[in-house]
Structure 1
């Protein structure tokens, strides 16, 4: 994915928290001796965002999934060829059982089993590599989404942004998820997405 420059901090704190309790009475009853520091942290404007929903719906996420599905199909085809080759080797090995001495046959069996084990490990490695590649790409999208949220907060002078699924009270006009998704899609529409996963071991 294209790497974009991070936005500079703008004397604004965006906090994604699990829960928050803010009441108007809380501010009204603040003691007169409250320090300037606590006053500077007073929250006036709040917004909500469904970050996980934004990531799921992002165009870039769909493109990444398509690339990874293509990689899975490619590897499955390559391993199918390896499987056919192993099956033929097994048949050849069984055919030699009565033609060679036991010691030599056991050596061939051991070598065959070692190759089967190697292929199984490689299959597991490739599956894990694909999963890791997706998680990394998704992490890059998440980072960019946070940048978009930061930008919106600065423009609207929002003091606090909560995760949608962590809020107790939901007011539709506080939800900025759609705007975050729109901007995220716009910033990634020309991004180059590349998934680099090594090929299976050569036969």
Structure 2
């Protein structure tokens, strides 16, 4: 998660800059994350999330980072002298205990008129989902019915590189349900 680590450091630096704005510019309007928005983050301490791999071994993930911070609102930048509007960003990062599987994260950005929900897989980038339009109202997987499931499928014309993500199944209640990679590796929630 080198890119995520660098992003987190940058955002922490930006937050410190934003904190110093109030001395000369007054209090900015902050768009807070609601309890309902925070449900998209799914994971909390001391969660241990267990998956079954394609080779039938148990794969454990734990919450490694959780943060909430203000970021410049739309139309503003951290380099602006005064930032009148700030949005709120929050994230949860889970890491494989054995470090054999890529880390996974959920991020939300709350703006005055919308919520941006993103899924991040280490080494595979970020995938934005429309929280109001799940791909499947109900999806049966191994005898369990998951509600409001979002599916992200990688276009095979863009990549089939071994290790790149092929499919993600995710919902607000359970988080990452299943992740399939090109080359045959996969994990599924237990």
TM-score for the superposition, normalised by structure 2: 0.28
**Quick check: which one's strand share is greater?**
2
TM-score (ref. length: structure 1): 0.27
Q: Which has the higher contact order (CA 8 A, sep 6+)?
A: 1
